[in-house]
Chains A and B, each alone.
Chain A
Amino acid sequence: DGGITQSPKYLFRKEGQNVTLSCEQNLNHDAMYWYRQDPGQGLRLIYYSQIVNDFQKGDIAEGYSVSREKKESFPLTVTSAQKNPTAFYLCASRSGRGSNEQYFGPGTRLTVT
């Protein structure tokens, strides 16, 4: 059963704590992306990675960090420096072979209080 998995589906944290969101894909896709979704604002790109051991900042990278040690995994850490971390976080991947079709995971809803 191929696809993108994100865990957990719901995550609750206290303000000031770092939290890591998981994203795994078994599609053998080269590129992976993290987006943040807030009501009425569409999807905003946080970080992306075209290949293993390489990643670039997106439009709203401040307060976030990522790693890409394995092709199938692209975890996102929301640090305490992120001023407004409560949001719906979406991971996506793209095959990287002649296609710009991005496929999304089911998302993680993070609530920080």
Chain B
Amino acid sequence: QQQVKQSPQSLIVQKGGISIINCAYENTAFDYFPWYQQFPGKGPALLIAIRPDVSEKKEGRFTISFNKSAKQFSLHIMDSQPGDSATYFCAASQSWGIGSGTSYGKLTFGQGTILTVHP
């Protein structure tokens, strides 16, 4: 029940196109859903994150869409660029408590998607 399933494993997009990566989860207690971007030989970098009280969050060319009833969330990269070529990971976790007393559970990661944007 702790799994996060990510698809596709790999994705090839032309420059200027839209890249879409999907994730599905089972644990309805998850309440934090981040996306990480990782370049070869580097550590992952936090890209964008969403909580289940909103259905969409946009930061520049990156948008997370969240469907609570379907237990799915996705990353959309608009106007994809060759510099976006990287591995993308979704993740999920849950929290307990409120305010300064909040405790956070561990992040459960998807298997990753290798994105290649052709010029």
Contacts and interface: CB of A to CB of B under 8 A. Distances in A.
Contacts of B42: 106-107
B43 A98 contact: no
Nearest to B34: A101
Nearest to A99: B104
A100 B46 contact: no
A75 to B, nearest CB: 17
Interface string B32-65: 1010100001111110010000000000000000
Contact of A42 (B34, B89, B100): B89
A63 interface: no
Interface stretch (B11-19, B72-80, B107-115): B107-115
What is the interface residue range for chain A against chain B?
Answer: 20 to 34
Interface on chain A toward B: helix, strand, loop, or mixed SS? strand
A42 B110 contact: yes
Interface string A88-109: 0010101001101111111101
B102 interface: yes
Contacts of B102: 98
Interface of A: 4, 6, 31, 33, 40-45, 48, 58, 90, 92, 94, 97-98, 100-107, 109
Interface of B: 6, 9, 32, 34, 36, 41-46, 49, 89, 93, 95, 99-100, 102, 104, 106-107, 109-112
